[in-house]
Amino acid sequence: MMLMKKKNIGRPSTYAKVLEANMRHGYVIETKKAKFIVPTSLGMRVYDVLTSSPFAPLLSEEASRVLEESLDKIEQGDLKASDFVVSIKDEISQRLKEAGFTLNLGGP
């Protein structure tokens, strides 16, 4: 969580949820002595698969920052939510196409 805060990824309201979900799925464990969170072998395998897939750019720190900034702009009225949704749909559609799949959600 300290690294997430340092790199300005996520929001304080999501830190505990992210950690709890990662622990529940067995991706990380808490060490007994030093109270550190460390990845399990499963967590490292999942990370390797995700970061080597066509979706890796969507999972990057930069993508997280852009998402957070976009949500802030929507909240401030500087970005229309519908425009943001279309941009996300287009990005996911492109990644699926690169992976050999198609996405048909309709809409604009």
End-of-domain residue from the set 36, 52, 68: 52
**Identity of residue 50:** L
Q: Is 77 left (phi over 0), alpha (psi -120 to 50) or beta?
A: left
Tell me the residue range of the domain where 23 lies.
1-52
Listed residues 20, 35, 52: the one ending a domain: 52
Tell me if 105 sits within 8 A of 85, measured CB to CB.
no
* Domain match, 48 and 67 both: no
| Confidence class for position 48, pLDDT limits 50, 70, 90 | very high
| 52-to-18, 59, 60 alpha-carbon distances in Å | 21, 11, 11
Q: Are residues 34 and 68 in the same domain?
A: no
Contacts of 46 (CB under 8 A, 6+ apart): 27
User: Please, which contacts does 10-15 make with residues 24 or more away whose CB atoms are closer than 8 Å?
Assistant: 10/64, 10/68, 11/68
Query: Which of 28, 52, 76 lies at the terminal end of a domain, its last residue?
Result: 52
pLDDT score of 106: 62
What is the number of structural domains in the chain?
2
Same domain, 37 and 80: no
pTM over 0.85: no
Q: Which residue has the higher pLDDT, 105 or 8?
A: 8
